[in-house]
Amino acid sequence: MSLFPMFLKLTARPVVVVGAGTIAEGKIAALLEAEARVTVIAPEALPRVQEWAVGGDVEWVQRPYREGDLEGAFLAVAATATAEVNRAVFAEAQERGVLVNAVDDPPFCDFYFPSIVKRGELQIAISTAGESPALAQRLRKEINAALPLDTGEWLMELGRLRREVTAVEPIGEPRKQLLHELAQREVCGFDGCPARARARVHAREFGYVKMEELELETPEESTL
């Protein structure tokens, strides 16, 4: 089976989660982190889910699932301990054209929740297409151990520097090569950062910025 990997923007999108127990809790947490508008349908809920409902983070419909609950949903998650309920959710989702995930039941899934390694805005998603979630979790642990804890902060500075470069240099191979070079360098927030200095020198070399428009170089810049 071939899967298409993507990262979805779920901010304010309506998502229905059927179930509010151990199976559902982690999925709800992930959806809330993505700023989805989550409706939980379940007669009972774990304390954490109840807290989300009291705080207004989710809407809790305190009853069993019934047909029609997916009306208007963008995504659906069937996360109960009863296969018959999960498959009924899947059937309604298919009728309505709603993408659905029936947790731990791959044949009844349009998408999977991957194992995630996250550092700030950096996300690395791992999927085995439901063949072995245990393997995905092992790989997540290995990547997590290998990835520096400050990668998120570094990425934030790299993104800021990228925006500085793209504001000055036009699209083309020189800009592309520079951005790839900067992704290999140490990037820091202060104005005299060596990577920022390299970007200035590059802009001057290719004539994108006139000498008088550049700030005075620091001693470090003159050696680059």
Q: Where in the chain is the domain with CATH 3.30.160.110?
A: 114-147
With CA atoms as reference, report the closest residue to 86 among 99, 69, 101: 101
Rounded Cα–Cα distance for residues 12 and 30 (Å): 14
Coil, strand or helix at 117: strand
pLDDT at 204 > cutoff 50: yes
Q: Where in the chain is the domain with CATH 3.40.50.720?
A: 1-113
With CA atoms as reference, report the closest residue to 18 among 70, 94, 72: 70
Residue 223, pLDDT score: 37
pLDDT at 26 > cutoff 60: yes
Question: Domain 1-113's class?
Answer: alpha beta
Worst-scoring range by mean pLDDT, 80-89, 113-122, 155-164, 215-224? 215-224
Residue tagged 């690395």 (tokens): 124
**What's the rounded mean pLDDT across residues 4-28?**
95
pLDDT in tens, 109-158: 999 988 899 999 999 999 888 888 899 999 999 999 998 888 888 888 88
**What's the rounded mean pLDDT across residues 98-103?**
96
Residue 84: which residues within 8 A CB-CB, separation 6 or more?
Answer: none
Mean pLDDT of the chain, nearest integer: 87
Coil, strand or helix at 71: coil
Q: CB 131: neighbour CB atoms within 10 A?
A: 11
pLDDT in tens, 146-201: 988 888 888 888 888 889 889 888 898 988 988 888 888 676 666 667 777 777 77
Q: CB 129: neighbour CB atoms within 10 A?
A: 13
Hey, which CATH number is domain 114-147, 3.40.50.620, 3.40.50.720, 3.40.1030.10, 3.30.160.110? 3.30.160.110
More confident: 199 or 39: 39
Worst-scoring range by mean pLDDT, 1-10, 64-73, 182-191? 182-191
Determine contact, residues 73/99, Cβ cutoff 8 Å.
no
- Burial label, 110 (beta-carbon count in 10 A; 0-12, 13-18, 19+): middle
Residue 151, pLDDT score: 87
Residue tagged 């997916």 (tokens): 70
Rounded Cα–Cα distance for residues 196 and 187 (Å): 8
Half-sphere exposure of 71 (CA within 13 A, CB side): 4
Rounded Cα–Cα distance for residues 46 and 66 (Å): 20
Phi, psi values for residue 64, rounded to 5°: -70, 160
Residue 1, pLDDT score: 63
More confident: 5 or 28: 28
Rounded Cα–Cα distance for residues 183 and 148 (Å): 15
